[in-house]
């Protein structure tokens, strides 16, 4: 079974290649080009029983390798069937739609608003607090250092 996959960047994702092409078209005198988006066109010949199985397998391929679902959309066209527009959005929504129970939501909210505490446990090692040096203490240190060096010599 033959299929094609078209992968494009999502709206709002910076696409330097498209911007460079748009600029070049403008430089060559092609006015009125508002946006250029460049993507990938992939052809796949696949062993599958039916279009549904082929679409499922290609969707898995897109999610794992062919597209980056965080920044790219993909569209799958199986030979002899209609294109599955916005399939990537549905698949991504399905993955991220993990529902939290009200107790988990409350615990997450509490953890987010909880102020950090600085308790020292018996087994933990932490760096001692750094002392700030004022002009007076710096002057005292210099005077003490001069006394010790003058005694030696």
- Give domain limits for the chain: 2-96
Nearest CA to 90 among 55, 66, 130? 55
Residue 75's H or E segment, with its range, is strand 72-78
pLDDT at 140: 74
In this prediction the pTM is 0.51
Contact between 74 and 67 (Cβ < 8 Å): yes
CATH class of 2-96: alpha beta
- The per-residue pLDDT for 143 is 73
Smallest CA-to-CA distance from 63 within 7, 102, 12 is with 7
Query: pLDDT 10s digit of each residue in the chain, 153 long?
Result: 999 999 999 999 999 999 999 999 999 999 999 999 999 999 999 999 899 999 999 999 999 999 999 999 999 999 876 555 545 455 555 555 544 555 555 666 666 655 555 454 455 455 555 555 566 667 777 777 766 666 655
Q: What is the predicted pLDDT for the residue at 142?
A: 72
CA distance 56 to 50: 10
């Amino acid at each position: 079974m033959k299929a094609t996959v078209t992968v494009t960047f999502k709206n709002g994702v910076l696409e330097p290649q498209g911007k460079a092409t748009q600029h070049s078209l403008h430089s060559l005198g092609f006015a009125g080009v508002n946006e250029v988006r460049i993507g990938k066109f992939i052809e796949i010949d696949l062993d599958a029983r039916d279009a549904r199985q082929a679409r499922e397998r290609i969707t898995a391929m897109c999610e794992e390798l062919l597209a980056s679902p965080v920044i790219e959309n993909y569209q799958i066209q199986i030979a002899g069937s209609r294109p599955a527009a916005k399939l990537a959005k549905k698949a991504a929504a399905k993955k991220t739609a993990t529902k939290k129970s009200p107790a988990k939501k409350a615990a997450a909210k509490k953890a987010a608003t909880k102020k950090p505490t600085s308790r020292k446990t018996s087994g933990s090692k932490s760096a001692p607090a750094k002392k700030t040096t004022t002009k007076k203490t710096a002057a005292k240190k210099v005077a003490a250092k001069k006394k010790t060096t003058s005694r030696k010599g």
